[in-house]
Amino acid sequence: MAHVIVMSLSLTALYELVFPCHCEACGGLPESGQYRFLCGSCAGRMIWVGEEYCRSCGYPYAGGVGAARRCVKCDELQPVFSAGRSLLLHQGPGGALVRALKYRRALHLREDLARIVRHVSGLADYVASSVLVPVPLYGLRQRERGFNQAQVLAEVIAGSFAGLTVEELLVRVRATSTQTRLTREDRQANVKKSFCHEGQCSRRKVS
Ligand SMILES: [Zn+2]
Ligand SMILES: [Zn+2]
């Protein structure tokens, strides 16, 4: 008599079955730390954004300058958005996690990213009852990459706190070149008129 064995493995468990656990930042063994794919040493070197940060762009202050102050760059640039929040600086191990997700399709990092999201002081209040709108990729790039990293991050945040939803309200209407090596002015020109609001794409483009 044949037996049917139903196996239930999470994507992370399946990944660990094929590739032994390693630290995404240094390649070492994560041991039994707080994260599956980040060793204790690298986790300790992440630069967290605490309570004192620029309310416009989210960049952290070194400390002792007042939590409600805007940074010098935002005073100069006058951004069109009213508020921003950062979790980590894109440096060292924090940058390594983001690059692994974006360029090496490291979707097995979702559980660690959720731990990071839940660790950030004040983030639950900041995003309470929000609708999270991931920045879309152009169709061809999404097909090449196989996923949208902004969508993954939005889903990680939505899954970390109650009352949040993820909605794809933006459509990317033209392909843009990579922003990585562009100046600030070139980045702005590169994405101008690249998005429209879902359902209104033929009437108005969001610049
Ligand atoms: Zn490490
Ligand atoms: Zn700022």
Q: Nearest ligand, CA of residue 25? A: 1
Question: What separation in Å is there between the alpha carbon of 42 and the centre of ligand 1?
Answer: 4
Question: What separation in Å is there between the alpha carbon of 163 and the centre of ligand 1?
Answer: 34
Q: Nearest ligand, CA of residue 22? A: 1
Identify the H or E element spanning 196. Answer: strand 195-197
Q: Nearest ligand, CA of residue 71? A: 2
Question: What separation in Å is there between the alpha carbon of 4 and the centre of ligand 1?
Answer: 40
Question: What separation in Å is there between the alpha carbon of 121 and the centre of ligand 2?
Answer: 19
Calpha distance 88→24 (Å, rounded): 16
> DSSP letters along 85-125, please?
--SB-SSHHHHHHHHHHHHH--GGGHHHHHHHHHHSTTHHH
Q: Nearest ligand, CA of residue 28? A: 1
Which residues lie at CB < 5 A from ion ligand 2? Answer: 54, 56-57, 71, 74
Q: What is the residue whose two structure tokens read 């090596």?
A: 181
Its pTM stands at 0.79
Residue 159, pLDDT score: 96
Residue 12, pLDDT score: 55
What is the chain's pLDDT, residue by residue, as a tens digit (207 residues)?
444 434 444 555 555 556 668 899 999 988 778 899 999 999 999 999 888 888 888 888 776 655 567 888 888 888 888 888 889 988 999 999 999 998 889 999 999 999 999 998 889 999 999 999 999 988 888 888 888 999 999 999 999 999 999 999 998 887 777 777 777 777 777 778 788 888 877 654 444
Report whether 206 contacts 195 (CB < 8 A): yes
Residue 207, pLDDT score: 47
Residue 96, pLDDT score: 95
Residue 4, pLDDT score: 42
